[in-house]
Structure 1
């Protein structure tokens, strides 16, 4: 082998090793009891708020989107998790949950504002996926202590 080929091979090997090491950077950071607590409490608060959508949105607008409203609490939880080291997956899940462009909490609130009231059937159908999204976030936060797959019990 000539020198150029050896040098190119060495550079390629080093580059491959660096890409491997960067690719193996953890996406889930160390366990945060605060993030877990926020996720579990916000789940129950969110589902309870959704039940109120049979009443006019205007009655609940401040508690939903005011400066100390529920949406602000969800955004605060997202910002907290996004600020933790190596927590990209959890932060992305929060973003999906909150987004008006998704099919979860953000879209539910947008629809409630547009329609003023929502039917119990609609609310029930929306609560399932919202609850599941919270369960995924809670699982991610819990598994920062102990690695298990979300959505499956330990015995599976």
Structure 2
């Protein structure tokens, strides 16, 4: 059921994005600043995942709290459905991005540097697309974000 709901939301977003009359939220310096800060903190925290998760548990919780605050901000911003859905994808514990990474780290307790480097590439790319969308708010950056959301 959750998968069907997610697909319906993504389909709706795609239809909305294809309509010229649908508005897109304007550039938001706060969103840009917080997203780049979260990206930096995430990558630094990932560098510590070759140590026991328990040693970084509080830092993980703090970063997830910062993300939750930003998600709530993004959820309430008008014409901002795409950004909000991207944050939902990034934090989904069943996906291979931020939420999934932290879940896997907690389960395994330590992660190899090789695994972490590959995960950093995926997470960096996803966050960079989100950052570019926030900066540009153009059709190309919107299409790039929608491409990730519909994978």
TM score, norm. by length of structure 1:
0.75
Match of 1:59 in 2: 55
Which ranges in structure 2 are unaligned for 5 or more consecutive residues? 1-15, 145-151
Match of 1:142 in 2: 135
Root mean square deviation, CA, Å: 1.6
TM score, norm. by length of structure 2:
0.77
Structure exhibiting the larger radius of gyration computed from Cα positions = 1
Q: Does the alignment pair 1:25 with 2:22?
A: yes
Measured after TM superposition, the shift of residue 25 of structure 1 is 2.0
* SS of alignment partner, residue 48 of structure 2: helix
Separation of aligned partners in 2, 1:93 and 1:132: 12
Separation of aligned partners in 1, 2:122 and 2:37: 17
Cα shift readout 1:91-139 (whole Å, capped 9, x = no counterpart)? 1111111110111011100010001000000100100110011101101
Separation of aligned partners in 2, 1:115 and 1:80: 32
Structure showing the higher helix proportion among its residues: 2
Find runs of 4+ consecutive structure 1 residues off by over 4 angstroms: none
Match of 2:5 in 1: none
